[in-house]
Amino acid sequence: MAVRASFDSFVLKKHSLLEMTQSVTLFTRQKGKIHHILKGGQKITSRRSAHLQTGNLVRIDASLHTGGSWYVNTTELISGFSMLKESTDRVRVLYNLCMVLDRLLPLEQAEPTVYDMLVRALIHLNETQLHYDRVFFSFFADIYAELGYGVEQIETYDDAHDIVRELVDEKVRFLL
């Protein structure tokens, strides 16, 4: 029997699978980072797929099936951060925030402090008149320390890139 649950979550990434199916990686306060399966997500008539764009805040109603897979039943868009997405610099920072979280967070481990930090970073990114990269570097340094990786001086994308590449042991590329 499937267990149903509802989550407010940030969409970290989405990619296509076979047969009109998509895999969506979400970050929730309650469960941390979770992979969801979206059946029929590639259909042009799919209302759920439109909500599940990288960087959106959505409410997901999902079912946990016996194999341990979460399946998306319904979605509701809470915020698409449309004001934030009007600037290419802000979009670049948003995508880098999502990429870093996807790479550093463990699966299905609640990280409510990091979730709150992400909310504050997005609010700050949306409202700030400062250079947008400062928001990224501040957020990255904070979550890096919060997740127990240590405290290092992070001032450039090269610093952040080197740290993430070392942690995940694979090549990563920031959007410049």
- pLDDT at position 69 is 81
What pLDDT, on a 0 to 100 scale, did the predictor assign at position 112?
94
Here the tokens at position 1 are 């029997």
pLDDT, residue 46, reads 58
Q: Is the pTM of this model over 0.75?
A: yes
> In sequence order, what DSSP letters do the residues of 20-51 get, joined into one string?
T-EEEEEEETTTEEEEEEETTTTSTT-HHHHH
pLDDT at position 116, please?
93
- Angle between helix 112-127 and helix 88-104 axes, rounded to 10 deg: 170
| Cα–Cα dist 106/84, whole Å | 27
With tokens 């600037």, the residue in question is 87
Q: Can you give the pLDDT of all 176 residues of the chain as single tens digits? A: 578 889 899 989 887 777 767 788 999 999 999 988 777 655 555 555 667 788 889 998 888 887 778 888 888 988 888 778 888 888 888 888 888 888 889 899 999 999 999 988 888 887 766 677 778 888 888 888 888 877 667 777 777 778 877 877 766 666 65
Superfamily of domain 3-79: Nucleic acid-binding proteins (2.40.50.140)
For the chain, give every domain's residue range. Answer: 3-79, 84-168
Closest by alpha carbon to 12, among 52, 63, 61, 50? 52
Please spell the DSSP secondary structure of 119-175, one letter per residue: HHHHHHHHH--S-HHHHHHHHHHHHHHHTTS------SHHHHHHHHHHHHTS-----
Q: Tell me, what amino acid is at 157? A: Y
